[in-house]
Structure 1
Amino acid sequence: MKKILALVGLVLAGSALGQEPGWTDPYVPPHVKRVGPPPVETRGDALKAQVEKKLRDQFDAADTAKSGTLTRSQALAAGFGYVAENFDAIDTRRAGVVRFDDLKRHLGL
């Protein structure tokens, strides 16, 4: 009987090993425990849309004049280093400003 109880204990302990640590521990504070399902990995068109939105938000934040274009100095001031460092390659029109479409074309989006 002791062997059966020991075996049951080992099986139960083994099944707990596959769980993430801390999820079932009652002493883990609630703010540390994950709420809801884990995040879903984004792929394909949804990932492209997320990247484009993040890039657009950064571009719009750097465009302090709200003109729809960025100068090299605006990009530098906003910490948008990639645009500032690659400004000449992005500004294929040689207009002295970069539009969001110019940036997308340069990045292949």
Structure 2
Amino acid sequence: MAKLLTTLCLLLAGVVCAAAPDIADTRAGLAQLGDPYLPPAARQRSTLPPAEGSVLRTLAVEKLRRRFDAADVGHTGTLTQAQARQAGLGFVADHFEQIDQRRQGRINFDDLRLYMRERGANL
């Protein structure tokens, strides 16, 4: 019985090893995805100039809008505090009462932008 179990374990180990991807292929794939553990010198550099000024501001607003829209699972154009928290929008969830100035229990993207502008953001 022990010999049978040993043989079975060796066979399974061979199958697992044969099914494991080649390490070099895995590293190459991760490099294309922006692997944070890849040394900076080995990373592919962007050919685009760094964003700044109004371009950077536009990119930031667009990213915030995408995150807001993704959190809006009901596609109502609004978020509840629970939806914000569940989507990982901690700043929105933590300041929800201040953002929701109409006390409706829901905020829209304009409410969020207004709150951030009142606190000095240039959105």
Larger gyration radius, structure 1 or structure 2 = 1
- Per-residue displacement from partner, 1:25-76 (whole Å, max 9, x unpaired)? xxxxxxx364564x42222211110000110010011100010000001111
Q: 1:77 aligns to what?
A: 86
Which residue of the other structure, out of 106, 109, 112, is the alignment partner of 1:103? 112
Q: How does 1:1-40 map to 2 (within 5 A)?
A: 32=42, 34=44, 37=47, 39-40=48-49
Instruction: Please tell me whether residue 63 in structure 1 is matched to residue 72 in structure 2.
Output: yes
Cα distance change on mapping 1:74 and 1:33 into 2, 3 Å: closer
Q: 2:57 aligns to what?
A: 48
CA RMSD of aligned residues (A): 1.9
Q: 1:91 aligns to what?
A: 100
Q: In percent, how many aligned pairs have the same letter?
A: 42
| Secondary structure, aligned partner of 1:60 | helix
TM-score, structure 1 as length reference: 0.64
Q: Distance in 2 between matches of 1:53 and 1:46?
A: 11
Q: Number of aligned pairs?
A: 78
The one-letter amino acid paired with 2:91 is Y
The one-letter amino acid paired with 1:68 is G
The one-letter amino acid paired with 2:77 is G
Q: Which runs of 4+ in 1 moved over 3 A?
A: 33-37
Long gaps (5+) in structure 1 = 1-31
| Secondary structure, aligned partner of 2:91 | helix
